[in-house]
Amino acid sequence: MNPSFKDLINTIKKSKTKINIADITKAYQFAEKAYHGQKRHSGDPFITHPLHVANTIASWGLDQESIQAALLHDVLEDTPVTHKELAQKFGSKVAFLVNGVTKTGQVKLRNSKDQVFVENLRKMFIAMAKDIRVVLIRLADRYHNMLTLTAVPLEKQKRIALETIEVYAPLAERLGMGKIKGELEDLAFPFVHPKQYKTISQLFKTQIKQTKKHTNQVISQLKKILKK
């Protein structure tokens, strides 16, 4: 059994949401076959991505259809699988969710700094989703893509990171997902503001060294006192 799939099953069991493991396994096996031979920019098998997205969705306590759709969310875009085939094998609701994720993936920032445009982009994203679960799957998808952004070609990194800050992080905030909003912003910051990130990192490292030095001095003094 794929270790990542095993992790997904464990997450599902911990969530205590009523889910048929056999149906999840069916979606996983279908996805694994559909993505067979495909690789991520990192060189990892493509199936590692939908498994991570599905695990995130399961950890949020979403339903069975959402987890199945998370496993299948790229098949319409990246494989010969059709909407009709998905509906026949997994039902119209799962096919609807996958189609929604595919459509919302076409919403791109295109490096615009016009805030009216950006706000309209967020509204378009939500309108295209039609089901809040589509937005949640897309957020989980973006979260994993940000975790692996260093593997993406340099010319795409900043656009993806900026899009994350301008579109995805605010969407997470509107859904009351402050933790995810913060994580997305933290992951995007080094790519959008590399100079500031380098400065902050250096200051942080200096502070850590100073704190460690001070701590060692205190420990040394305490040891001397205890020996007396």
pLDDT tens-digit series, residues 60-116: 999 999 999 999 999 999 899 999 999 999 999 999 999 999 988 877 766 556 676
Reply yes or no on whether the pLDDT at 193 is more than 80.
yes
Q: Tell me which residues are annotated as active site.
A: 77-78
Reply yes or no on whether the pLDDT at 200 is more than 60.
yes
Reply yes or no on whether the pLDDT at 213 is more than 60.
no
DSSP secondary structure letters along the chain: --HHHHHHHHHHHHHT----HHHHHHHHHHHHHHTTT-B-TTSSBTTHHHHHHHHHHHHTT--HHHHHHHHHTTHHHHSS--HHHHHHHH-HHHHHHHHHHHHHTT---TT---HHHHHHHHHHHHHHH-SHHHHHHHHHHHHHHHHTGGGS-HHHHHHHHHHIIIIIHHHHHHTT-HHHHHHHHHHHHHHHSHHHHHHHHHHHHHHHHHHHHHHHHHHHHHHHHHH-
